[in-house]
Chain A
């Protein structure tokens, strides 16, 4: 009996999920992570995107005629599962696929969507080679690693730093390549790289590495790393504990409440991020709207980033004026200076990694202090 009930329930569920789309519905398939290691990034992005989709549907759909229908499936942060889910979504008739916040599963899904000629956008993969690995139907929705690195390198040179030490981890493309792009851009502008240390992600032990840095003579002018939680707090705690006061540059992974909770340890740390809410900016208005709707201020920029993805989709479908996947792809690829809540977004002229503004933020007494906002000089961006 019990089995029958479960069968009944699951078939009812299947009917719900596979409800046929109306003729003029835009079907967006979300092959994103609700569980596992990517959930901390995919969940807030999805929440932001969902808000934009709700707004669009309340207004009668994109351009008043294309309501959005979503099919959401969990990838469990697993690349093989992401490819499987992408196939299911393509079979279910999705005209646009959203992939997780990381290049590896996005490439796995991209292999399916590229073959089916359906555009795919990653929530926030930052690896600049992602579209190269997949093809012309693959896009991302976040400033690329090499763009962030170029901004940080320009800031390092402007601050008068002559020598830099980078700390990388081979465990992910982000933690390995971003500091290396930084090194490339920094030396390209006349700086010198005096060393590269490594760490294992999640280990939280930097004793050996910190002892080596403390023994360096002379010390580097600046240390750059893309370590994030839990590694960054442990690193900075142990580094300052060993009496090393060298300034630190970080990237967007540390833009989280934990970092700001570290007090004096992170005073003066400068990091790159996808957006900074200056007074009167669209991001400030978005944050207020989000707070009003959910009762809590957004704790990460990924929520606004997801909302921006909704704006990209809206702009692309409006331009395409049809639900043909190829026309939507062209719509995305031709976006120029779209005013998102985090800043202007341009896909035109890129291989699929958008040009978006990057903000450099300094931590001062536990608060954000904007250093600079904008896009780096294209000549300074290291090749992917």
Chain B
């Protein structure tokens, strides 16, 4: 029983990271119909920002804030340079553009910064562990659960209580009508990218804290997981992305924990099979949106 509870806690922590990532993809997709595969590179940018801030001697909290600022700025810049010119183009064009942005950034990181991972000195206080009865929880895992909850709550408040948030929700329903109402499309899209940049930044910090280094390709795997989570949840649905993230984390941890040893190497295959199973019953994802993306 203790072991099961511990595995549940592990699932919650992993699922939280996936949820943050999937949410970053969903925020942008719900507005302009773009699956941003360069989302992972925003995490990498955050990692490098923190890494260099620490090398320059900034204290850790300041470096973290710097990392987040850089992530938001990079996301907005990405939109302005790469995605605004192709806004409204077909989904395929958008998708390929995002692949291109991702590939260009990776090659730049490899050949301008370094192909080798660069260590980031994470304060030792973050390596600690909290023991609750028989359960152990690493400080970083605990922080990632708390941060995920805070981000979800904050995003929810933003979307429901502020003008910009309402405009974004309206944009995801029907962008054309929103523009007829006199809202500026550019500012809404830029806000969506800024939020996705913030989410990528937070996820990037949690990711880097776990691994202790930044390397040019580190964004590839998380964005893939986020994509799967967003698909399970129903593309474009924010709550769906969160649900998908937690479900994916849960599936992965439970399979790792309870598959017999001889089948463990096939864990990822089983996880994807379960995802396909979910999609067979809910082809649009768990919490699909009925509306169609228009611009």
Residue of B with least CB distance to A300: B116
* Residue B284 CB within 8 A of the other chain: no
Q: Is the CB of B121 within 8 A of A256?
A: no
- Chain B contact surface mostly: helix
Mark contacts of A224-244 with chain B using CB atoms, 8 A cut-off: 1 yes-contact digit, 0 otherwise: 000001100110011011110
Evaluate contact between A229 and B117: CB separation under 8 angstroms: yes
Chain A 246-276 interface residues, beta-carbon cutoff 8 Å to B: 256-258, 260-265
Closest A residue by C-beta to B140: A237
B143 at the interface (CB under 8 A from A): no
A233 with B212: CB separation less than 8 A: yes
Interface residues in B99-146 by Cβ distance below 8 A to A read 106-107, 110-111, 115-121, 124, 127-129, 131, 136, 138-141
Chain B positions 208-239 with a Cβ under 8 Å from a chain A Cβ:
210-213, 215-218, 220-221
* Min CB–CB distance B209 → chain A (angstroms): 9
Interface residues in B, total, Cβ within 8 A: 50
Does A242 contact B129, Cβ atoms closer than 8 Å?
yes
Residues 1-31 of chain B: 1 if any A CB is under 8 Å from the residue's CB, otherwise 0?
0010011011101100000000000000000
- By the criterion CB–CB under 8 Å, are A40 and B257 in contact? no
Is A6 in the interface zone, CB < 8 Å from B? Answer: no
How many residue pairs at the A-B interface have CB separations less than 8 Å? Answer: 127
CB of A48 within 8 A of chain B?
no
Query: Given the complex of chains A and B, what is the CA–CA distance between A28 and B215 in angstroms?
Result: 30
Cβ of B215 and Cβ of A229 under 8 Å apart?
yes
List of B residues within 8 angstroms of A1 by Cβ: none
Q: Bound state CA distance, A96 and B267, in angstroms?
A: 42
Question: Bound state CA distance, A205 and B138, in angstroms?
Answer: 12
| Residue picked from A39, A211, A233, most chain B C-beta under 10 Å | A211
Q: Which of A118-126, A147-155, A192-200 contacts B (4 or more CB under 8 A)?
A: A192-200
- Chain B residue contacts of A238, Cβ below 8 A: 138
A25 beta carbon closer than 8 Å to chain B: no
Report how far A12 CA is from B212 CA in the complex, Å: 44
Counting CB contacts under 8 A, is A14 at the interface? no
Q: Which A residues lie within 8 Å of B256 (CB)?
A: 208-209
The answer to whether the Cβ of A357 comes within 8 Å of any Cβ in the partner chain is no
Contacts of B218 in A (CB 8 A): 202, 230
Name the distance in Å between B73's Cβ and chain A's nearest Cβ: 25
Confirm or deny: A37 has a beta carbon within 8 angstroms of a beta carbon on chain B: yes
A44 to B114, CA, bound (A): 10
Cβ–Cβ contact B119 & A258, under 8 A:
yes
- A211 x B111 contact (CB < 8 A): no
Known: A197-B264, A299-B116. A204 touches B110 (CB 8 A): no
Assuming the contacts A170-B265, A200-B268, asked whether A35 and B111 have C-beta atoms less than 8 A apart, the reply is yes
Contact status A40-B127, CB under 8 Å: no
Interface contact A204-B141, CB-CB below 8 Å: no
Find out whether the CB atom of B212 lies under 8 angstroms from the CB atom of A262.
yes
Specify which of A43, A202, A203, A257 is in contact with B119 (CB 8 Å cutoff): A257
**B207 at the A/B interface (Cβ < 8 Å)?**
yes
- Contact B212–A195 (Cβ < 8 Å): no
Bound form: Cα–Cα A200–B221 in Å: 11
By the criterion CB–CB under 8 Å, are A243 and B221 in contact?
Answer: no
The 8 listed contacts between A and B (C-beta, < 8 Å) are A40-B117, A240-B129, A241-B129, A243-B129, A258-B212, A263-B127, A264-B127, A265-B127
Other 20 A-B pairs with CB < 8 A, given A234-B210, A241-B138: A35-B111, A40-B115, A43-B116, A200-B268, A204-B211, A205-B14, A207-B253, A211-B3, A211-B257, A214-B136, A215-B3, A229-B215, A233-B213, A241-B127, A241-B136, A242-B129, A243-B131, A258-B117, A261-B120, A299-B116
